[in-house]
Amino acid sequence: MDGGIFMADTLAERFDRLKPHITVYGPEDDLPRPAILLFHGCGGLRPHIHLYAETAVKSGLRAFVIDSLKPRGMGRTAAVSLVCTGMVLQGYERSGDVLASLWGISHRPDVLSDQIILAGWSHGGWSIMDLMTQPLTRAGEARLKDPDAALMTRIKGLFLVYPYINFPARSLTKPWIHKPPTTVVLAINDHLTPYKSARTTFARLSADGLSLHSLSLKASHAFDEETFSKGGPMAYDAEAVQASHDALTGLLAYLF
């Protein structure tokens, strides 16, 4: 480990690190089903991510909540101090977690390997978006020794909630090489990713061939975290939460 960031390892090695810290939700059967992989924001796992997983299960999916911080020995305090400030584990570096999770979970016999949704909140959305910009044809991309572009064909769609799209996010300037159907939930009062900038970025991606559904909510960044009270830059908003969950249910109904 290097400053909280894994040095380049293989897909299998990365997944082995993550696997003990993945929470699994879904029907108690062995039937192969579509799956959704959920990636938290910079501060680590919070209760609202698990609620989205439960929403996906109601649509018949298996859900996998991936913790990127515990495998790196990082708790909440370290995450806020180091990850949320951009000092360690930027989106490009964490994109290897996304690809390795896709690799490992798609090998499960109870998952349909070509029916997988990637979902990300804030930093998790940044990581997923950075992955979309990479050819994945040479060692070292996504901080992996053996990135595999063929894995990207297993992605059925993306669900992004207030994704971080500010410096140094690659999607600000780079096109997406991989373009799964995408639903993005944007917060108009987002203080980390200016709404206008996010709209401009997704308009460019859409013009470049991305199948996009965009939902704009009059809410703040992290509007689904109940610990944030009104009056600060981030505030819980129950109506926005319901709209976001409805957007996820709508995407799943559209895709499956």
Element (H, E) at 66: strand 62-66
For the beta carbon of residue 232, count every other beta carbon within 10 angstroms: 9
Task: Share the mean pLDDT of the chain.
Answer: 95
Query: Average pLDDT in the 3-12 region?
Result: 73
Cβ pair 22, 101 in contact under 8 A: yes
- pLDDT, tens only, 81-127: 999 998 899 999 999 999 999 999 999 999 999 999 999 999 999 99
pLDDT of the residue at 34: 98
What is the model's pLDDT at position 231?
Answer: 72
Percent of the chain residues topping a pLDDT of 90: 89
* pLDDT value of residue 1: 37
Q: What confidence tier does 7 reach under pLDDT thresholds 50, 70, 90?
A: low
Q: How far is CA 65 from CA 71, 103, 122, 148, 207, in A?
A: 13, 15, 15, 22, 32
What structural domains and CATH numbers belong to the chain?
Answer: 11-255 (3.40.50.1820)
- At a CB cut-off of 8 Å and minimum separation 6, what does 168 contact? 86, 90, 91, 92
Q: Does pTM surpass 0.85?
A: yes
Mean pLDDT of 201-228: 96
- pLDDT band, very low/low/confident/very high, at 8 (cuts 50, 70, 90): confident
Range with the lowest mean pLDDT among 4-13, 97-106, 128-137, 236-245?
4-13
